[in-house]
């Protein structure tokens, strides 16, 4: 079998682009993958063009060797753009291999260790709306719920502050007080049964995170996702000395080497591996094994499309150390619906994983078990979309 083409398929789902990648072969079998570098799809498409030139004619079943060649056969190794492209290709190659052998991808990863994949949902309302959102999710059977930071200046707006010169304002010291107050209320209202976390989207400093955690009684939070940026593992180690809330880190990591200090030094307690950024199945399974040795459970990042979800389900089925998969199509939000009010993912992906309650069943369809309506996909053009640019009251830059 030989690779005959690698096609980037940028599609618009909900309110932003998803970059799906199709790898074709001379035997008519194709595979689908997805890139996780939201907002920089054109850069990834450029990387894919480079890779396409030397991948055509290669045997798509030599997945591990192709991974090494994509990573190492260039002077400037690694990085988020190249690994996002490489991830999509690696996922597609597993899809091809599974289809060619007539087996689901999890079978190629050691077989399934579970029959369904438990998931977590997100509630991100402001103040009382947060309590309502958590209770709504619990009423629908969700028992692991993630929340989002608030700002006091814009009641009713999820995650947002006011505006300055067209940019949104986020002021960390204003956010941590109100967010901690309402998380304490949520815990009081829902009791100890539910697992509760928050994603601070790397918007805080070490000192701000410490203050945030110290404003809540022990047991309020079960996990704290990415309160600070991750370039410096030592900063997380400093933070660990100031709080005992478990950390969930790693959704932006693009290779096992970025995970290295976080696993080896036991900095993170949950691995937020993103299969569309880390380097596909090949790299994700190595991270999973390494994390298993440190009793760290995977809590995969999955804010993308159905291809990412399908791939992550297969990975999750085949590892021992698994906590919960992120889903963004629940009773409190649905990232697949955009301004037009239709489910774009349903139009594009006639076959895709479907939630049953708060988990995904592990299906035995060969490959990833996902199909794209290619005519619907190729009829679309990439649209300019930029992640929000946030500022503080003084006009300085603040992470989104």
Question: Which residues of this protein are in contact with Mg ion, per CB under 5 A?
Answer: 199, 225
User: 228: which DSSP letter?
Assistant: S
| Distance of closest approach, residue 39 Cβ to Mg ion, in angstroms | 15
The full length of the chain comes to 400
Structure tokens at 368: 């990833």
- Shorter beta-carbon distance to Mg ion: residue 119 or 362: 119
1: helix, strand or coil: coil
| Distance of closest approach, residue 304 Cβ to Mg ion, in angstroms | 13
Contact assessment for residue 252 and residue 80, using Cβ atoms and an 8 Å cutoff? yes
CA dist 226 and 247 (Å) reads 7
Structure tokens at 93: 């190659």
- Shorter beta-carbon distance to Mg ion: residue 90 or 199: 199
- Shorter beta-carbon distance to Mg ion: residue 24 or 199: 199
Q: In the complex, which residue's CB is closest to Mg ion?
A: 199
| Distance of closest approach, residue 146 Cβ to Mg ion, in angstroms | 9
Question: What is the Cα Rg of the chain in Å?
Answer: 21
- Shorter beta-carbon distance to Mg ion: residue 63 or 278: 278
- Shorter beta-carbon distance to Mg ion: residue 95 or 222: 222
| Distance of closest approach, residue 367 Cβ to Mg ion, in angstroms | 28
114: helix, strand or coil: coil
- Shorter beta-carbon distance to Mg ion: residue 275 or 348: 275
CA dist 71 and 262 (Å) reads 21
| Distance of closest approach, residue 179 Cβ to Mg ion, in angstroms | 15
Phi-psi region of 37 (alpha: psi -120 to 50; beta: other; left: phi over 0): beta
Closest CA to 212 of 248, 189, 168, 242: 242
Structure tokens at 337: 């619906």
| Distance of closest approach, residue 272 Cβ to Mg ion, in angstroms | 6
């Amino acid at each position: 079998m030989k690779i005959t083409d690698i096609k980037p398929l940028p599609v618009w789902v909900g309110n932003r682009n998803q970059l799906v990648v199709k790898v074709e072969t001379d035997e008519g079998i194709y595979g689908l993958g997805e890139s996780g570098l939201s907002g920089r799809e054109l850069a990834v498409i450029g990387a894919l063009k480079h890779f396409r030139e030397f991948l055509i004619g290669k045997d798509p079943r030599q997945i591990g060797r192709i991974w090494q060649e994509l990573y190492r056969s260039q002077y400037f190794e690694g990085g988020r753009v190249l690994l996002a492209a490489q991830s999509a290709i690696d996922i597609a190659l597993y899809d091809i291999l599974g289809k060619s052998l007539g087996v689901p991808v999890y079978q190629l990863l050691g077989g399934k260790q579970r029959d369904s994949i438990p998931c977590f949902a997100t509630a991100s309302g402001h103040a009382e709306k947060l309590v309502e959102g958590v209770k709504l999710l619990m009423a629908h059977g969700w028992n692991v719920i993630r929340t989002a930071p608030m700002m006091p200046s814009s009641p009713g707006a999820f995650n947002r502050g006011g505006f300055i010169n067209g940019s949104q304002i986020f002021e960390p010291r204003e956010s941590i007080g109100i967010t901690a107050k309402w998380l304490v209320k949520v815990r009081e209202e829902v009791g100890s049964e539910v697992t509760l976390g928050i994603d601070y989207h790397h918007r805080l400093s070490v000192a701000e995170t410490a203050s945030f955690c110290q404003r809540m009684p022990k047991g309020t939070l079960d996990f704290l996702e990415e309160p600070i940026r991750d370039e410096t593992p030592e900063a997380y180690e400093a933070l660990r000395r100031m709080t005992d809330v478990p950390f969930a880190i790693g959704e932006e990591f693009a290779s096992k080497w970025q995970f290295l200090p976080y696993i080896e030094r036991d900095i993170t307690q949950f691995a937020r591996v993103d299969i569309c950024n880390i380097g596909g199945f090949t790299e994700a399974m190595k991270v999973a094994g390494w994390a298993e040795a440190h009793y760290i459970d995977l809590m995969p990042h999955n804010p993308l499309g159905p291809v990412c979800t399908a791939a992550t389900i297969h990975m999750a089925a085949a590892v021992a150390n698994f906590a919960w998969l992120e889903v963004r199509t629940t009773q409190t939000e649905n990232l697949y619906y955009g301004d037009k009010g239709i489910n774009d993912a349903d139009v594009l992906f006639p076959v895709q994983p479907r939630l049953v309650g708060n988990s995904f069943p592990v299906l035995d369809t060969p490959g990833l078990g996902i199909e794209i309506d290619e005519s619907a996909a190729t009829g679309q053009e990439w649209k300019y979309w930029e992640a929000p640019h946030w500022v503080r009251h003084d006009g300085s830059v603040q992470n989104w």
